[in-house]
Amino acid sequence: MDISLPLLKGKKGIVVGIANENSIAYGCAKEIHNAGAELLLGYGTEKSEPYIQPLLADLGNPDLILCDVTNDAQLESLFQHAKDKWGKIDFLVHSIAFCPKDDLFGRVTDCSREGFKIAMDISCYSFIRMAHLAEPLMKDGGTLLTMTYYGSEKVVPNYNIMGPVKAALESSVRYLASDLGPKGIRVHALSPGPIKTRAASGIDHFEALLNASAEHTPIQQQVTIEDVGDVAVGMISDSAKSLTGHIAYVDSGYHILG
């Protein structure tokens, strides 16, 4: 590898989940673009488009595709667009999570069947389905990334049903890594510390969680979307070609504390 070149020069891939300038997906897309890669962006709702359009110039003006992950036709269309555009992809970044508010704010004990199904479908199964669609396009191997959170491992106040959902996502990462490893496809989850995104704003008392995490981490600083993007770049790059199945913590060290 020529280290004088941008780390991701020549790589092409999809980032899904961008909603606005505060999205983790945007931080990833920005740093991946800055590292030399070409992008295709997927977004979930038409309401988000006015917030996304002003960001495109700084990302190399990538194609922007509507992709509701509960809609199989839209999912397949996103990957078909990538196939028609490039013939292959080298990476996928999945930064999507959702739970109905009534179930998110309530106890895990009280979660409805429908709320649990929706949260699992959008936050976990969509990554599995994208892995299935990405596999034939990763002809020379590649990297699949998704986003998790420490609440999958420990009980974090007010994270509620998303804890079990993210635990399922992390387990899926390990099984996908095993399934796809023989084809040179690596699978990881990034686990950022609390970041003020649109999705996070739905968590009750999130501001308190945000402030507490910054005060009690070893590095004593809040994580930014660009920090997550930098780690995504490293995981996608050929420098990480021997790594798969990892949960990479981007949390200023919070996860090591007792």
Cα–Cα distance, 217 to 179 (Å, whole number): 35
DSSP state of 258: -
Question: Which residue is catalytic, options 26, 159, 249, 254?
Answer: 159
Strand partners, 195: none
Cα–Cα distance, 133 to 129 (Å, whole number): 6
Angle at CA 67, nearest 5°, toward 23 and 131? 90
- What phi, psi does 65 have (nearest 5°)? -120, 130
Cα–Cα distance, 173 to 188 (Å, whole number): 6
| Closest among 169, 209, 171 to 193, alpha carbons compared | 209
Question: Which residue is catalytic, options 43, 149, 249, 254?
Answer: 149
Listed in sequence order, the residues at least 6 apart from 121 whose beta carbon sits closer than 8 Å to its beta carbon are 69, 70
Question: Quick check: is 43 catalytic?
Answer: no
Question: Quick check: is 159 catalytic?
Answer: yes
Provide the annotated active-site residues: 149, 159
